[in-house]
Structure 1
């Protein structure tokens, strides 16, 4: 549409502006028509390719040329150049420079018609020349509108980039959560099963069949526990709601400790994320107890306060010989990561006083 308007103005000027020839005043009109046409066509150049200073010089000279064309021609639509050039100045230049050029156009064109420089347009009122500065308002409005559109587009692109970054972060967080679940389900269970099978091999060589059966039953128990833990993981990944107290009770009993759970405060429903992470912390603690403090007494406390949910797992010193075992080193790190994702705190360390002195305690506090 802009190109159509430009070509219309140029065609109308060449068709109507007179005199037009190859000598004398006709040649001057022809040269100024070409200059004005080129200046008007230049408004289609991208802003990025024309420096601001060059735009100011080009539009200033173009407005002077438009006023000169009105001066040397006797008739026609030469004044259209001034209107369109001033309007483009409002679009292309800063407001102060655009208004200055609009005032210059009004003074030059109005002065040409008022003082009748050259043959001029005697049938046109000099006030028409003053109105050539008016299109600057339209140009400024269009510029502001385009800037607003660009701002909206930039904001949309920024939002899209932020959404992509957030989605990528969510994917990485989910990968980390799944990695912790895989560690908890496989590493712990397989390590316990492997320990029992190694013990069974050693007992077979010693000929103690009763203890071999006991180790075999323990391995079967660990397999059953692993299946339950896998079910918990599937439920969590599917965001199924798990009852915290019931699931924690089942987990503790499957590890061989009965009546070890004490619940304090008013029991309430917590989110599936909190339930899943507290169960994993309890599982990690119980597995470490079985590995590093066999035969110890375990006490688990679950406390519901107004502002938080606290899980405390404490074990007494080992009562049986500790078999040398190499852990993955990810247990405590995984617990800290889980609690950090929920905005809570966790402490882990030896018990230094009380009946369980010499044992170990893990305490996780999850805020509401």
Structure 2
């Protein structure tokens, strides 16, 4: 029997925001079509009208007609949503329907009145709890079986008593269908809950990525642009003094900041590209674009590291190279990438300046920014002057990332 249990609006699964539908009805259980229920119901009623006799407007025929109407109404009511019919009212309605079905079997002389009892018993198992459903189904079997067994109507000879006694058996089918539907709905609810959680996690990841990009853009451009603006304002003020030498000096600083900003922007765009190279190749590209070809030394067994580790190590290398160019212009730069069993280490060293350094605006990241990035990776970073070796008098930054 094709029963469909409607779900209350408050319990139905929420639809995706992109669906944009409001006020839609409850979602049916997969594999079931509510139209089948109505077709079967109308078929039972139609067959009853065509076969149940006597059927007229007087005497026994009038009683049969009234009982047929009551049975039809009781059967049609099974299409009512479960959440709109209180359980006490459903129990009363189904018990009355079963009583009317047994009476129809007793009053009619022939026909298919027993089908009403079968279908009502099945729906009782589907709509009610197990205990009240079994009680009403037992009452149905006793009434229908008693009518036939004790020959209480003119049509007792048309049906064996066993048909009446098994009239309540479909309650088991209804109970099984109800259990299956609830299991399917629970699985659907769990799947939709997991989907909502996945969408929330994806949205959180997108927001975190936007925040990261915003920080990177700020680190790369904001302070450099502020420095450029400051130099241009200074040049504008110097024009009024007529000191062209100082104007040229300030203008040169502004040009240098522009070139540095463009270089950092190229590195950042390279980092954000979906097809960005692995850590070693990315460092090589960064060094080549900054004019330090063949400055990278790799030790240990090269392996792929997580994207977030690559991203932060590249930003640390970028800041270290920027500081080397600013504070030690012309000095030799060396970058070491060491792959150990339990860690990945990046060292950026520069020798002493080969020419006079010019003061300029920083990139805004600095040692504090490096420490914040490495802390997110549970690593350590050290930075300080080199006191011995070929880079004596220079500066070294070392970041160690576990894993």
SS of equivalent residue, structure 1 residue 122: helix
Contact kept, 8 Å, 1:9 with 1:80, in 2: the verdict is: yes
Please state if 1:345 is matched with 2:368. Answer: no
SS of equivalent residue, structure 2 residue 75: helix
Matches of residues 6-21 of structure 1 in structure 2 within 5 Å? 6-21=41-56
Q: CA deviation at 1:203?
A: 8.4
1:104-162 per-residue CA deviation (whole Å, 9 max, x = no partner) reads 22222112111122434223110111221222233233333433443454344334433
Please state if 1:246 is matched with 2:281. Answer: no
Q: CA deviation at 1:80?
A: 1.0
Change (3 A) 1:68 1:272: closer
Q: Matched residues in 2 for 1:150 and 1:193: separation? A: 63
Q: CA deviation at 1:285?
A: 5.4
**If the length of structure 1 is used for normalisation, what is the TM-score?**
0.74
Contact kept, 8 Å, 1:240 with 1:272, in 2: the verdict is: no
- Structure 2, unaligned runs of 5 or more: 1-35, 389-393
Q: CA deviation at 1:37?
A: 1.3
* Alignment counterpart, residue 83 of structure 2, candidates 48, 60, 71: 48
SS of equivalent residue, structure 2 residue 158: coil
Q: Matched residues in 2 for 1:274 and 1:167: separation? A: 20
* Partner in structure 1 of residue 136 of structure 2: 101
Contact kept, 8 Å, 2:54 with 2:60, in 1: the verdict is: yes
Change (3 A) 1:202 1:154: same
Q: CA deviation at 1:214?
A: 6.2
Contact kept, 8 Å, 1:29 with 1:69, in 2: the verdict is: yes
Q: CA deviation at 1:269?
A: 5.2
**If the length of structure 2 is used for normalisation, what is the TM-score?**
0.69
Matches of residues 354-365 of structure 1 in structure 2 within 5 Å? 364-365=399-400
* Partner in structure 2 of residue 236 of structure 1: 271
Change (3 A) 1:339 1:64: farther
Higher helix fraction (1 or 2): 1
Contact kept, 8 Å, 2:328 with 2:350, in 1: the verdict is: no
Q: CA deviation at 1:178?
A: 2.0
Q: Matched residues in 2 for 1:348 and 1:194: separation? A: 32
1:76-102 per-residue CA deviation (whole Å, 9 max, x = no partner) reads 211111011011112222334333333
Please state if 1:142 is matched with 2:177. Answer: yes
Change (3 A) 1:186 1:354: same
Q: Matched residues in 2 for 1:223 and 1:175: separation? A: 25
Q: CA deviation at 1:299?
A: 8.9
Contact kept, 8 Å, 2:309 with 2:377, in 1: the verdict is: no
Q: Matched residues in 1 for 2:372 and 2:68: separation? A: 76
Change (3 A) 1:156 1:15: same
Contact kept, 8 Å, 2:319 with 2:363, in 1: the verdict is: no
Q: Matched residues in 1 for 2:305 and 2:257: separation? A: 28
Q: Matched residues in 2 for 1:190 and 1:263: separation? A: 35
Q: Matched residues in 1 for 2:381 and 2:160: separation? A: 94
Q: How many residues align?
A: 356
Change (3 A) 1:231 1:259: closer
Please state if 1:172 is matched with 2:207. Answer: yes
Change (3 A) 1:3 1:123: same
Q: RMSD across aligned C-alpha pairs, in angstroms?
A: 4.5
* Alignment counterpart, residue 37 of structure 1, candidates 49, 53, 72: 72
* Alignment counterpart, residue 276 of structure 1, candidates 300, 306, 311: 311
- Structure 1, unaligned runs of 5 or more: none
1:161-186 per-residue CA deviation (whole Å, 9 max, x = no partner) reads 33432332233123223212311221
